[in-house]
Amino acid sequence: MRDFSNDHRWLSLNTATVRKQGDLAQIVDACAKHGIRAIDPWRDQVATIGLDRAAKVIKDAGIELTGYCRGGMFTADESHRNEARDDNRRCVDEAKALGAPCIVLVVGGLPQYSRPGSAPSKNIVNARAQVDDAIAEMMEYAKQANMPLAIEPLHPAYAADRACVNTTEQALDICDRLDPNRLGMLGVALDVYHIWWDPELLPQIARAGKDRLMAFHVCDWLVPTKDILNDRGMMGDGVIDIKSVRSAVEAQGFAGYSEIEIFSQNWWDRPMDEVLQVCIERHKTVV
């Protein structure tokens, strides 16, 4: 496993971590100032300052991307499927313009939450079948742009409203079905928050292998977790043995960034500089 204790060259910042403190241009500036070499921006943050300007500020700062958040939300009723498809095609175009190495896919839960206005359903089995079909369709478009897709399994607490892909095994099953020859265009984005509890985690990371491991995200699971969406922890403040997961991922040959993604009202309430300083310190000590 790589030694992170001396510098933070393998720290990437998911820009949602400081989304309340500034716009994307300000976040890029702050990252450059703190020697953070990579980010993973969100679509709404890019849209706020405009795609062209986003591409320019990122390029001018010499900052690399570790992904683009996010594609997906595939589950929809019949009348919302085209909307979902077109939205994901635009996402591919944006990712390409920004020079992202992959798109992170949050696949959607039940249709009424994934694409509001869709007819309510309790059929998660059906939602999962839709996800397979829609990823297959998106892959066709993404391949032309040479843009890999990284399925992010989300914690089962989000199964209803955000993603019906809830384990690494399930995400890899989709990869194997849609990309049996491992052509490099489909893989997984693993976030310790979503997967740390999984008894099958280590064998599934081994199953993924280097070519399917497209992104590695870190934060922490707090006890108690007061808000299931916006009370994620700074690395070291919770119960996840982050180093053991990174060790397993690197044992497969993953040599990319550890991307910090923290949705937290607590951290959104602090100055951007303070958050980035703590991220850098914890990256050296507990990641």
Residue found under tokens 């044992």:
251
- For the window 165-204, what string marks contact with a second copy as x by the rule CB under 8 A? -xx--x-------------------------xxxx-----
Sheet holding 64-65, edge to edge: 64-65, 38-40, 11-14, 258-260, 213-218, 186-191, 149-151, 103-106, 68-72
- Name the segment binding a second copy (CB under 8 A); options: 26-34, 75-83, 238-246, 277-285: 238-246
**Which of 80, 155, 212, 246 is in the footprint of a second copy by CB under 8 A?**
155
By CB under 8 A, which span of 55-63, 65-73, 164-172, 209-217 interacts with a second copy? 164-172
| Ramachandran region, residue 228 (left: φ > 0; alpha: ψ -120 to 50; beta: rest) | alpha
d(CA 261, CA 234): 9
Q: Which residue lies nearer to a second copy by CB, 171 or 275?
A: 171
Residue 218 neighbours by CB distance under 10 Å: 28
By CB under 8 A, name the one of 239, 273, 277, 285 that touches a second copy.
239
Distance, CA of 164 to CA of 70 (rounded, Å):
15
Tell which one of 58, 186, 234, 240 touches a second copy (CB under 8 A): 240
Binders of a second copy among residues 68 to 107 (CB under 8 A) are none
Among 22, 56, 113, 209, binds a second copy (CB under 8 A): 113
